[in-house]
């Protein structure tokens, strides 16, 4: 049997051969002086950009080809064509990313075996204490979504060696533009999108986006109501000073949402098999989420090649909910044995973020180099409150069989055992990065970020006070073999503060993360096709693990070896012919150090998105969006010897979405979508011990108008 090292090398050799053989058969292309556009996963056909630069990774204004990390961009076109209306569906179409949909209104995202906790808006980091997104982030206000895979500690400070997700807001335009879309779909889904942008004069412009969506669901009783308002201003205060202000308000109200999900096995160990519509939500439960965000950017040109930017953001999130959880293991014959659990949960957080940096170019030893440096500060306050019903008998009711239950349950009086959290986090950072042109084909990127993290407060009567600081290095290199082919390597780190205490009641050190990556990037077919290959190795150390025989209520921990993941990613995106545009990606992932994570994380993923413009029928296009992952599992029960006694298995599956669009006139078009065309039945996630099924086949029709 081949060793793991041999298998890894064989995978690497195969993927490298694929890239280089594709390059060998490509047409020669002419060199271009202008910088290259960020390569979109789909839809933006790779025309060259002058001003838009990949800011997600370094703040040096580098293109994707010049950046020594894997970067994918989901374009506005892909979001529109396949109705990717929230960040969940966007990341489902992103190479190497796993979307762990554990409830209807709470989702975790993973990449390279680790939770994604680093999110940005227009390159400004929004620190997260965990990787979950509650409610949903609608994509109607974004121009594109950039995903930098691997550790990105230089830009984001605390976080995991997984990925950074940068959501780029729509900008005002200096020509009047307007578009509208009205759609109707399965389960009475109704959606309206309005987007208008206009100049005030030659130096000032505004943009407004409004979205309204109401929908029932394939899940019993579940209904949602979303409203999104976005306002943007951009203008020049002087010839060298510009100002932009962005305002976002998102509201999502959900009736009868899932809190937890379905039990996945019976008392005899056999798997449950409920209808896809089965829900554990009570008919009186709700989960309402609102978010309000303000972003202000002041930009000052210091010279022809230097600019300073000051950015401020105020972000506020509020949740109010009364939820119903179902736990236990049902009897296979009767369906009985489950218990309900009602809770009221209120949550609010407030982020105040500030970032000041300068970037530009300098000449040294006959070459032009890039430099960026700055400071940032983030203050994050959050409070939550939990209430239960231990008095009326409705707080923990015995459940009937889920196969016949209609959601009717006496409403609990949620007023007991008030508890919660009141925590303040503060992160201060200073950073510097540079790109040095050692020779015409060879560049060296280096940077360092110092981050100080301090937490004060309590969570459910447990002190959260902690303080950590870390110096995070970044180094990378890019070698251009030609104008169309380059190779790169990079190494960077992250850290994650921990609140857990060791046996001596001392706070455990922060979890440290390391990520290294090598790869090649090529532009083929007259710059119309972009190909990337990356091999990566990522690791976390110092993960808190509970000590056995800890005193209940006073659990102590030790720092253990963390997860080690390695693998490769291949991506081809662009215009294959005059009529065919596509993105094709394959990712492979191997995990060591945590069997649970290894089992529920797919080892292989294939993602394909493509559209074909029918040559003989002007305005007619067809498209397909396909996502496949191999089998996953979760050990639910172990026997006395520590061996698996009950395991939940999810077989490999693929989801196929189809699209057809027809432009009736230059201004009006219609789009028809079929999602999960083959009617695949599958569990959304095995991230938790419970789970629920994804949506069956469904349809949507939209009418689109543009000025």
In CATH terms, the superfamily for domain 4-706 is TonB-dependent receptor, beta-barrel domain (2.40.170.20)
Burial of 553 (0-12, 13-18, 19+ CB in 10 A): exposed
Which residue is listed with tokens 């029960």? 637
Burial class (CB in 10 A: 0-12, 13-18, 19+), 33: exposed
pLDDT for 317-366, tens place per residue? Answer: 999 999 999 999 999 999 999 999 999 999 999 999 999 999 999 999 88
In DSSP terms, which residues pair with 332 in a beta bridge? Answer: none
Closest C-alpha to 300, from 239, 234, 372 = 239
Q: What percent of the chain has pLDDT over 90?
A: 67
Pairing state of beta strands 557-575 and 529-546? antiparallel
Give per-residue pLDDT as tens, 271-308: 999 999 999 999 999 999 999 999 999 999 999 999 99
Comparison of pLDDT for 554 and 218, the residue scoring more: 218
Q: How far apart are CA 81 and CA 623, in angstroms?
A: 8
Q: What is the pLDDT of residues 599-608, one digit of tens each?
A: 999 999 999 9
The band of 646, judged by pLDDT with boundaries at 50, 70 and 90, is very high
Digit-coded pLDDT (tens) for 450-483: 989 898 988 888 778 888 888 889 999 999 999 8
pLDDT bucket at 5, cuts 50 / 70 / 90: very low
pLDDT tens by residue, 486-544: 999 999 888 887 777 778 777 778 888 888 999 999 988 888 888 999 999 998 888 77
Q: Dihedral sign, CA of 394, 220, 97, 588?
A: positive
What mean pLDDT is reported for the chain? 87
Residue ranges with strand state E in 389-415: none
Instruction: Give residue limits of the domains in the chain.
Output: 4-706
Q: For 629-655, give the DSSP string.
A: E--EEEEEEE-TTS-EEEEEEE--EEE
Q: Which helix (H) or strand (E) holds 607?
A: strand 604-613
Is the pLDDT at 549 greater than 80? The verdict is: no
Supply the pTM of this predicted model: 0.88
State percent of the chain over pLDDT 70.
89
């Amino acid at each position: 049997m081949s060793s793991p090292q041999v298998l890894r090398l064989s995978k690497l050799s195969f993927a490298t051969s694929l890239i280089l053989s594709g390059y060998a058969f490509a047409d020669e292309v002419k060199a271009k002086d202008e910088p290259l556009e960020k390569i979109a996963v789909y839809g933006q056909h790779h025309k060259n950009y002058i001003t838009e630069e990949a800011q997600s990774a370094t703040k040096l204004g580098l293109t994707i080809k010049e950046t020594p990390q894997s970067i994918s961009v989901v374009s506005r076109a892909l979001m529109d064509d396949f109705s990717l209306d929230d960040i969940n569906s966007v990341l489902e179409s992103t190479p190497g990313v796993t979307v762990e949909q554990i409830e209807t209104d709470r989702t975790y995202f993973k990449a390279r075996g680790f939770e994604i906790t680093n999110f940005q808006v227009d390159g400004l980091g929004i620190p997260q204490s965990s990787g979950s997104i509650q409610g949903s982030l609608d994509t109607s206000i974004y121009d594109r979504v950039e995903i930098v895979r691997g550790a990105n500690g230089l830009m984001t400070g605390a976080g995991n060696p997984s990925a950074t997700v940068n959501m780029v807001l729509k900008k005002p335009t200096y020509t009047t533009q307007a578009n509208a879309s009205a759609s109707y779909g399965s389960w009475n889904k109704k959606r309206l999108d309005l987007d208008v942008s206009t100049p005030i004069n030659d130096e000032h412009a505004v943009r407004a986006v409004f979205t309204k969506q109401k929908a029932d669901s394939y899940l019993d009783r579940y209904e949602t109501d979303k409203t999104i308002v976005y306002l943007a201003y951009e203008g020049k205060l002087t010839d060298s000073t510009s100002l932009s202000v962005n305002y976002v308000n998102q509201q999502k109200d959900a009736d009868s949402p899932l809190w937890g999900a379905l039990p996945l096995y019976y008392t005899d160990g056999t798997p449950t098999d409920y209808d896809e519509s089965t829900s554990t939500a009570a008919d009186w439960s709700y989960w309402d989420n609102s978010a309000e965000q303000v972003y202000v950017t002041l930009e000052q040109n210091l010279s022809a090649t230097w600019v300073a930017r000051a950015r401020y953001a105020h972000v506020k999130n509020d949740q109010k909910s009364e939820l119903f959880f179902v736990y236990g293991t049902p009897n296979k014959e009767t369906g009985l044995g489950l218990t309900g659990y009602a809770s009221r949960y209120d949550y609010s957080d407030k982020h105040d973020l500030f970032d000041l940096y300068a970037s530009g170019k300098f000449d040294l030893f006959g070459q032009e180099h890039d430099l960026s440096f700055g400071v940032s500060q983030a203050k994050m306050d959050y409070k939550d409150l939990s209430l239960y019903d231990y008095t009326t008998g409705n707080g923990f009711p015995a459940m009937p069989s889920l196969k016949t239950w209609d959601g009717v349950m006496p409403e609990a009086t949620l007023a007991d055992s008030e508890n919660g959290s009141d925590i303040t986090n503060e992160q201060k950072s200073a950073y510097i990065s540079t790109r040095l042109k050692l020779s015409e084909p060879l560049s060296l990127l280096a940077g360092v970020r110092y981050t100080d993290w301090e937490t004060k407060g309590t969570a459910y009567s447990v002190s959260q006070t902690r303080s950590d600081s870390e110096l995070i290095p970044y180094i990378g290199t890019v070698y251009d073999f030609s104008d169309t082919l380059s190779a790169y390597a990079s190494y960077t780190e992250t850290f994650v503060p921990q609140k857990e205490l060791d046996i001596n009641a001392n706070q455990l050190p922060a979890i440290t993360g390391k990520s290294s990556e090598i790869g090649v990037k090529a532009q083929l077919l007259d710059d119309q096709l972009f190909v990337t290959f990356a091999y990566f190795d990522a690791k976390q150390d110092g993960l808190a693990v509970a000590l056995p025989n800890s005193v209940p209520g006073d659990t102590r921990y030790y720092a253990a070896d963390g997860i080690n993941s390695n693998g490769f990613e291949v991506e081809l995106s662009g215009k294959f012919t005059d009529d065919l545009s596509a993105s094709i990606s394959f990712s492979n992932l191997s995990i060591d150090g945590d069997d649970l994570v290894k089992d529920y994380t797919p080892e292989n993923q294939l993602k394909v998105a493509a559209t074909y413009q029918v040559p003989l029928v002007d305005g007619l296009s067809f498209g397909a969006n396909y996502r496949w992952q191999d089998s996953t599992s979760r050990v639910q029960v172990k026997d006395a010897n520590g061996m698996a006694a009950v395991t939940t298995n999810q077989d490999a599956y693929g989801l196929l979405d189809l699209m057809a669009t027809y432009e009736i006139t230059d201004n009006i078009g219609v789009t028809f979508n079929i999602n999960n065309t083959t009617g695949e039945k599958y569990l959304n996630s095995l991230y938790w011990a419970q789970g629920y099924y994804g949506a069956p086949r469904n349809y949507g029709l939209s009418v689109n108008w543009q000025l």
